[in-house]
Chains A and B, each alone.
Chain A
Amino acid sequence: QSALTQPASVSGSPGQSITISCTGTSSDVGGYNYVSWYQQHPGKAPKLMIYEVSNRPSGVPDRFSGSKSGNTASLTISGLQAEDEADYYCSSYTSSSTLVVFGGGTKLTVL
């Protein structure tokens, strides 16, 4: 069982917006602004899409945005495109001895 809780799957049509949630506790997501989101296509390495809750690395489209409220972080993808279909993982720093926790991953299907 993953430390951070994500929905197993979400779906949307091209052009629509979707949001993926990532729920933790006050020891991780709620306590620090150190939440990252990764995109992983089948057979590929994860790619950093969002760091420190809402910052985008260079090269990541501004269709991807991140936010946080309390113990839940969210990744929003607007203007869905076929190439956005992938697995998405959240990650957070944690005050526990584990230091880093991941969510179980969310499979995004573009209909």
Chain B
Amino acid sequence: QVQLQESGPGLVKPSQTLSLTCTVSGGSISSGDYYWSWIRQPPGKGLEWIGYIYYSGSTYYNPSLKSRVTISVDTSKNQFSLKLSSVTAADTAVYYCARGTMIVVLYYWGQGTLVTVSS
């Protein structure tokens, strides 16, 4: 059974960089035809897709965040990561990592982690 777990600081100051890691267990991150994605949900609001890293290492980001987002993978640790720079209060959200066979078929999700942007 594949499991994903997000980790990282719960509080980030404005203008700094938000950094989160998703640790994958129950399967290798480098095997299989999967999209490893990040999605976020502001408190009380809907879901927003951030981007993905494909098992081959290629990435794609939501154009609205593209200039600030980097998704990378560390196969030795079976982890993939999210970095979001120059954060503002609008970036306060629960951040989820997920695995999908397609970018819109996200079968496995992490439990989510709340990141608050505040001084």
Name A residues whose Cβ lies closer than 8 Å to a Cβ of B.
2, 34-36, 38, 44-48, 51-52, 57, 89, 91-93, 97-105
Contact = CB atoms under 8 A, between A and B. Distances in A.
13 contacts: A36-B104, A36-B105, A44-B111, A45-B111, A46-B47, A91-B49, A91-B104, A97-B63, A99-B49, A100-B62, A100-B103, A102-B46, A105-B46
Interface of B: 46-49, 60, 62-64, 96, 102-107, 109-112
Contacts of B107: 48, 57
A48 B49 contact: no
A53 to B, nearest CB: 11
Contact of B46 (A35, A57, A100, A103): A103
A34 B109 contact: no
Given A102-B47, A102-B48, A93 B109 contact: no
A103 to B, nearest CB: 7
A21 B69 CA distance: 32
Given A46-B47, A89-B46, A98 B109 contact: no
B82 to A, nearest CB: 16
Contacts of B49: 91, 98-102
B110 A93 contact: no
B43 to A, nearest CB: 11
Which of B47, B64, B106, B109 has the largest count of A CB atoms less than 10 A from its CB? B47
Contacts of B112: 45
Contact of B47 (A52, A89, A99): A89
A46 B111 CA distance: 9
